[in-house]
């Protein structure tokens, strides 16, 4: 596939130890472009990104995630209604949540419930009640079926923690695309979170994120793309794909003063622990 689609070149760096992209959306086309799944997986494998968590964020993409994880041994699935999607269901929200629970138990390659959570940036006050109810139901589903919970949190740090404190967090839960500072990182870590860092940690204006990364214990750090979004520097603004994770990991290693291979191996172990074992 040519690069006119907006996808950056494959990095020269091959990671010294394989890692997992624990949050990607390989089904989503952005700006009218998407890599075929087989090509996305092959490009990623060429730089050492060998396993993936394919994340559903509405009913069609959740169904796709389940099907794709059954077809590709490198992939497991996460299923949920995104917090911005939940208010759109109106009176049908309960039926949609029931479908998410059915998909979460469809087969053993569905390891996670996510991405759920709260987003007060795109959804206004009228959607808060539906978002909160949906988030609580997702927490319940994850706990009942022993699934990892993946949380989307945008401009809602305190509210996310309030829900988790009132419901009780699952044994395994991930702050997807962690977006807080060091103090919020500590608050999440105190509650048992894994912190997942995306390409945003490479942005010049992301000093708070880098401080959060620096204080996180080494056994609580994950990496992701959120592809096709959040492309790391030096390609910010172009299309993202799992093969670009080396750019993010280089910055993460620098922030932590860590050897890149050691960090990759640790993240690989962490991801298996966060998602209930190897696949």
Q: Is 108 annotated as a binding residue?
A: no
pLDDT at 236: 96
Q: Is 67 annotated as a binding residue?
A: no
Whether the Cβ atoms of residue 276 and residue 172 lie closer than 8 Å to each other: yes
Q: Top-level CATH class of 14-274?
A: alpha beta
Q: Is 219 annotated as a binding residue?
A: no
Q: Is 133 annotated as a binding residue?
A: no
Q: Which pTM does this prediction carry?
A: 0.96
Q: Which of 153, 147, 203 is nearest to 175 (CA)?
A: 153
Sheet holding 110-119, edge to edge: 19-24, 49-55, 75-79, 110-119, 148-154, 173-175, 193-197, 221-223
Q: Is 23 annotated as a binding residue?
A: yes
Handedness of CA 72, 78, 82, 87 (dihedral sign): positive
Q: Is 85 annotated as a binding residue?
A: no
Q: β-strand 193-197 against 19-24: which pairing, if any?
A: unpaired
The one-digit pLDDT tens for each residue of the chain (279 residues) are: 334 358 999 999 999 999 999 999 999 999 899 999 999 999 999 999 999 999 999 999 999 999 999 999 999 999 999 999 999 999 999 999 999 999 999 999 999 999 999 999 998 899 999 999 999 999 999 999 999 999 999 999 999 999 999 999 999 999 999 999 999 999 999 999 999 999 999 999 999 999 999 999 999 999 999 999 999 999 999 999 999 999 999 999 999 999 999 999 999 999 999 999 999
């Amino acid at each position: 596939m040519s690069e006119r689609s907006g996808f950056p070149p494959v990095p020269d760096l091959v990671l010294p130890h394989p890692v997992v992209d624990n949050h990607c959306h390989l089904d989503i086309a952005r700006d009218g472009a998407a890599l075929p799944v087989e090509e996305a997986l092959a490009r990623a494998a060429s730089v050492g990104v060998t396993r993936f968590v394919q994340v559903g964020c509405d009913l069609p993409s959740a169904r796709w995630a389940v099907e794709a994880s059954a077809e590709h041994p490198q992939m497991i699935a996460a299923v949920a209604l995104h917090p911005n999607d939940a208010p759109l269901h109106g009176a049908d929200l309960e039926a949609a949540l029931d479908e998410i629970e059915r998909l979460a138990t469809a087969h053993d390659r569905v390891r996670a419930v996510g991405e759920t959570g709260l987003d007060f940036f795109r959804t206004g006050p009228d959607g808060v009640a539906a978002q909160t109810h949906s988030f609580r139901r997702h927490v319940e589903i994850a706990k009942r079926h022993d699934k990892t919970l993946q949380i989307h949190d945008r401009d809602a740090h305190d509210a996310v923690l309030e829900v988790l404190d009132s419901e009780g967090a699952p044994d395994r839960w991930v702050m997807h695309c962690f977006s807080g500072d060091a103090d919020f990182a500590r608050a999440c870590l105190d509650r048992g979170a894994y912190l997942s860092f995306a390409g945003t940690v490479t942005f010049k204006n992301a000093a708070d994120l880098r401080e959060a990364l620096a204080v996180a214990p080494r056994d609580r750090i994950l990496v992701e793309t959120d592809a096709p979004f959040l492309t790391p520097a030096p390609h910010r603004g172009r299309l993202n794909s799992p093969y670009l994770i080396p750019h993010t990991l280089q910055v993460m290693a620098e922030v932590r003063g860590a050897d890149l291979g050691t960090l990759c191996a640790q993240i690989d172990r962490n991801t298996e622990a966060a998602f209930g074992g190897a696949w």
